[in-house]
Structure 1
């Protein structure tokens, strides 16, 4: 991660400030001590700003979409997805934040970028079609979800939602809660199909249990979708505090893995094994560390790739295999405010026909969703928002997401996208968070895509594919 500036050494004779290129340079005392009124300057370039009185954070968005933040009383700042340190803390002068001239020059340099019309970010809107019932009485509740596809009747598929207030909740495709499993506080959840356990193949749900600090693995009944809690297993990770999770089924080797993220950026990969007693054991096969807190993950089983959302940095792509190394293959995108605005939260993969499809990411800071090509270097396609529908309100500050390209019965014949909604509203009444459901046909229309005449990809029948550079 490139920093915009370094901290000042105590014995420095000349103060260090940030130059327009992001490098550290020396300046005269008068230049370092200059005080630029931030609000007046932002107004002069038609930038938007917002102040949070709770923590004295000022967030500003430039005309081209780039975002920056400063905090009163702090020398730390962010600009265009990078962190930096000022020569002195931001202070209030005459009711306006006062910043060094060095930072203002960098803001001007960022504002001059992406000025051409072809650099404009395309954003379209879809309508929320359904929503899940909120968990009344709970505050920070549902966080993440996974779509489980019924093997015989896709219209009976379920949404499995994790709750920080405790447990896993199962919803039908109309948003009604059909079951609640009273477990500990759960954070991320994922599903895979056909795991060999006790001489049979079972569908598997996995979730991070932040109360017990474990990965909980639960077989799913193949006909009813019920979680078999009596047959559940737990893996105790090495990291002190579990956070994000994704399952991965390697089509190269047939092995299944649980990918785990910690609150401090730790990553651990566990191979899942039948312990011979009807339970699932985990063997750590890889570990590394990201620079900062990361939560969202999605594994592409067909291409053998893993995507990780580093909350205030962006999206990284890794080899998903245990011998895939510890360095990312590429950085898919940066959380500079244009397509992604911190925090980058949920990630999901839309499996299209013949190896095509999309990577989707929830941009919490902008209440939008970015779409990237699934193939190659994941070129950016477009962004969209979820607005008020006839039966449900808009989605804002989203966390976990999931998507299915498979036809899910009459209600969602072309597939389904689901997002957590942090600010769930009913008129002027704010309810606890819930999930918003959107048919893929609405997203396809926004992308000017033809609708498929057949179901795209059955998640139980994925195929091993090779990327262009293999």
Structure 2
């Protein structure tokens, strides 16, 4: 049975969140620079390339042999790709028709990892994927042999799962469907997916359960986030979007210890809110994109938003340039660690402290060396503090678009993913390194 909880964030709560000043302490600090020499093969978003457009990565950590760990990424209509720690492709899974009577061929948008889910009487690790063309979640069991497995991923999605945001297939085909995704495992034996809606401000949670020897979900609950904001000057700001589109959220990550959800609203900023949805605590806007509060109008000819007043300053922060995209958490001891957000508009990555009021630390950009290119327009990202392969101090994996280089056909739409050592990031930004399990219960 599906249960829906509609809980509106009040305008008053949004205004209160805006009264805090932006992170002025890092306003004049230039982004640090780190390097990468490890990137996955290029994906081409055209018929010859299987319409593969990289979007979001997840890092699966092998429980005993870190060198068997893997990176699993979405390629939208191109399905999924699985890579080893040297960025070599291990498996390419096409986007297949969803197992439902009205199923369409999928479009896989975001992915995260659930550890120790019960299936057929045993615990399994699962890649959990949002499918935009079917407005649902899909599930892929991970072979415990990891990078040495012949078939690392196998789909185990139960048949005829409910739509997450829509009443029927006709509504699904309008594509206001499942978008961003993160896994939440609050306690042993309990696993949820947190999913955002494309073109809307809705966030949903769904409990992952075994159904007929496969994996499905139930108990879908929803929360509506703000789409307009009262400003200190008394005006109401509505982020400029295409007609009929609301300011959507995509990047999400859950602090597995505290149940805090971090969610990036692309044209607004970074939110934190307490799970479960509807628990009573008000969402807090941690940081705002630079052009927050600047009134724009949509130009139907150019399909761009233009400011009403080109000299307007707005009420934005200093680290995020729209779109605010991928989000993930680097765990440290206790409540310490960092929240990472990709700032797609200026090709940088913002870092906030995990504890307390999530104070901003600063930002960095990634430069390619030894044949790898610079990171541009990053969408999804994933980070782990655990040793994986040669990355003994942890690893960041990030989307890169467009992928460039001597061997890349720059006449085609290109993407890929780059691996960045956490040790390099930590040195460049004077951050902590801790490779213990920390407070992420999935590794205990």
Length-normalised TM-score, structure 1: 0.69
Q: 1:173 aligns with which of 61, 70, 85?
A: 85
Superposed CA deviations along residues 326-380 of structure 1, whole A, max 9, x for unmatched, are 841x211001162001000100110112331100000000100000001111100
User: SS of the residue aligned with 1:445?
Assistant: helix
2:165 and 2:197 in contact (8 A); partners too: no
User: Match of 2:146, SS?
Assistant: coil
CA contact (8 A) 2:79 2:93 kept: yes
Q: Provide, for residues 128-177 of structure 1, a one-character-per-residue CA deviation record: whole Å limited to 9, x for no partner.
A: 13000012444660100100111221112111010123211001111111
- Residue pairs, 1:154-193, within 5 angstroms: 154-183=66-95, 184-193=106-115
Greater C-alpha radius of gyration: 1
Of 201, 204, 210 in structure 2, the residue corresponding to residue 274 of structure 1 is 210
Distance 2:439 2:64 in 1: 11
Name the Cα RMSD after superposition.
2.8
Tell me how far 1:288 sits from its aligned partner. 1.6
2:39 aligned residue: 131
Q: Which residue of 1 aligns with 2:305?
A: none
Alpha-carbon distance change, 150 to 115 in structure 1, aligned in 2, over 3 angstroms:
closer
Contact kept? 1:147, 1:159, Cα under 8 Å: yes
Whole-Å separation in 2 of the counterparts to 1:417 and 1:118: 22
Cα separation, 2, equivalents of 1:449 and 1:303:
22
Question: How far, CA to CA, are the matches of 1:164 and 1:185 in structure 2?
Answer: 5
Q: Distance in 2 between matches of 1:372 and 1:298?
A: 13
Question: 1:434-469 CA distances to partner (integer Å, 9 max, x unpaired)?
Answer: 0011101100101224654x5454956557xxxxxx
Contact 1:121 1:339 in 2 (8 A): no
Q: Name which of 389, 404, 420 aligns with 1:425.
A: 404
Aligned to 2:271: 316
Residues 389 and 198 (structure 1 numbering): CA distance in 2 closer, same or farther, change over 3 Å?
same
Alignment partner of 1:237 is 2:177: no
In 2, the alpha carbon distance for the partners of 1:352 and 1:177 equals 30
> Structure 1 237/357 Cα, relative in aligned 2: closer, same or farther at 3 Å?
same
Match of 2:248 in 1: 293
Q: 1:143 aligns with which of 44, 52, 55?
A: 55
1:210-249 equivalent positions in 2, closer than 5 A: 210-224=132-146, 226-233=151-158, 235=161, 236-239=163-166, 240=172, 241-249=177-185
* Counterpart Cα distance in 1 of 2:109 and 2:437: 29
Q: Distance in 1 between matches of 2:75 and 2:439?
A: 27
- Name the CA shift for 1:114/1:162 in 2 (closer, same or farther; >3 Å): closer
- Secondary structure of residue in 2 paired with 1:120: coil
- In structure 2, distance between residues paired with 1:254 and 1:231: 18
Alpha carbons 1:187, 1:208 under 8 Å: kept: yes
1:209 to 124, 131, 140: 131
Other-structure match for 1:331:
285
2:417 pairs with 1:435:
yes
> Which residue pairs with 1:200 in the alignment?
122
Change (3 A) 1:455 1:378: same
Give unpaired runs (5+ residues) of structure 1.
Answer: 4-21, 23-80, 82-112, 464-470
Counterpart selection for 1:399 from 370, 373, 379: 379
Q: Structure 1 residues 247, 353: closer, same or farther in 2, change over 3 A?
A: same
SS state of the match for residue 233, structure 1? coil
Secondary structure of the residue that 1:425 maps to in structure 2? coil
Deviation at 1:391, TM superposition (A): 3.5
Q: State the Cα distance separating 1:230 from its structure 2 match.
A: 4.9
Tell me, yes or no, if the aligned pair for 2:135 and 2:165 is still in contact at 8 Å: no
Q: Structure 1 residues 314-323 or 418-427, which shifts more? A: 314-323
**Structure 2 stretches of 5 or more lacking a match?**
1-8, 96-105, 167-171, 228-246, 292-317
SS at match of 2:180: strand
- How far apart are 1:231 and its partner, in Å? 2.5
Task: Quote the offset at 1:285 in angstroms.
Answer: 4.3
Question: For the structure 1 residues 279 and 364, does the alpha-carbon distance in structure 2 shift closer, same or farther, using more than 3 Å as the test?
Answer: same
Tell me how many residue pairs correspond in the alignment: 351
Asked if the contact 2:197/2:203 (under 8 Å) is kept, the reply is yes
1:336-347 aligned at under 5 Å gives the runs: 336=290, 338-347=318-327
Report the TM-score when normalising by structure 2. Answer: 0.73
CA shift for structure 1 position 413: 0.8
Conservation of the 8 A alpha-carbon contact between 1:367 and 1:396:
yes
Does structure 1 retain, via aligned residues, the 8 Å contact 2:26–2:360?
A: no
| Maintained 8 Å contact 2:164/2:220 | no
**Preserved CA contact (<8 Å) 2:185 2:442:** no
Q: Greater RCO between the two (CA within 8 Å, min separation 6)?
A: 2
